[in-house]
Amino acid sequence: MKDLVERLYGARSVLALTGSGMSAESGLPTFRGVGGLWHSHRVEELASPDGFARDPVLVWTWYNERNAAHRRARPNAGHYALATLETAVRDFTLATQNVDSLHLRAGSQNLIELHGNLREARCDRCGERRSLDAYGMPIDAIAHGCGGRMRPDIVWFGEALPREAWKKAEAAAARADVILVIGTSAVVYPAAALATHYTSRAFVAEINPENTAISAGVDCVLRGTAAELLPRIVEALP
Ligand code: BJW
């Protein structure tokens, strides 16, 4: 940890990449671990354009349940530590794969939501948007007046990430002195590439209780949880 703290102290530019493990201590499940979302649900049915075309009610029922869980959850000490770290570094970018809005609620400002969010739905034909409240998408409003269907404003498998968000994240990775990779298995691309392919100058540190696809290739591995380690790192900064 001492090495990472020194690197952070001397850094002009920092990128943090987070995944679902970031919100585990807020009570939200990860995707691939034991008890993860993909253990009880088939990915292709729920997180793909084909699955949505086949059964939009099933897909919305699942996302409405997740939306309700996100709203019940509270940001944890790790989310707050990243928001604090942002105030200590001049050029700090937080790129998250999460759609749960917990970084936003913890006060992070320069936030890129790589896989979208569950605050809005959009029509898959005309692009019209509507905000989602705690009840999510009313099932009887999925069919849109233009003939399209309202879908969650998130990125499914086979879909491109929002262009501006991706450009901004790539640029942040390319100029970063330190990249923190927190709570992600780093198997989903292109997000995982931020920790591996755009790191010409960066010291890359992983924070995760488990081994991941990138552990062997990073500069520093801290085995522990986000809510436990991130506050300690921020407190250790001079
Ligand atoms: C803790 C902890 C604690 C636990 N503290 N840590 C073959 C090779 C390479 C790529 C591909 C390929 N075949 C297909 C692809 C592309 C595909 C892909 O990457 N597939 C791989 C799985 C093989 N990617 C895509 O399709 C992407 N789009 C794309 O490539 O577009 C190309 C294109 C270009 C131009 C035009 C058209 C297309 C899109 C990917 C979208 C991913 N979507 C999902 C679901 C939607 C959002 C949602 O419903 O929430 O995003 S999938 C799911 O995985 C979700 C997550 O954001 C994402 C990442 O998962 P994450 O967060 O890493 O979770 P886990 O469970 O895997 O890991 C949790 C970690 O936390 C673990 O390591 C734990 O140990 C740790 N942990 N507790 C810290 N307390």
Ligand 1 shell residues, CB under 6 Å: 19-21, 24-25, 30-33, 36, 47, 97, 99, 115, 154-160, 183-185, 187-190, 208-210, 212, 225-226
CATH code of domain 2-27+75-115+161-236: 3.40.50.1220
CB atoms within 10 A of CB 78: 30
Query: What pLDDT is stored for residue 200 in this prediction?
Result: 72
CATH code matching the domain that covers 36-72+122-154, chosen among 3.30.1600.10, 2.60.40.10, 2.60.40.420, 3.40.50.1000: 3.30.1600.10
Tell me the Ramachandran region of residue 17: left when phi exceeds 0, alpha when psi lies from -120 to 50, beta otherwise.
beta
User: How many Cα atoms within 13 Å fall on the side-chain side of residue 177?
Assistant: 14
Q: What is the pLDDT of residue 211?
A: 97
Domain boundaries, the chain: 2-27+75-115+161-236, 36-72+122-154
- Say if residue 152 is preceded by a cis peptide, omega within 30 of 0: no
pLDDT beneath 50, residues of the chain:
none
Give the count of beta carbons closer than 10 Å to the beta carbon of residue 127. 9
pLDDT of residue 129: 97
Per-residue model confidence (pLDDT) at position 195: 94
What is the four-CA torsion angle of 8, 5, 210, 99, rounded to 10 degrees? -40
In the prediction, which pLDDT does 174 show?
A: 94
Structure tokens at 7: 């690197």
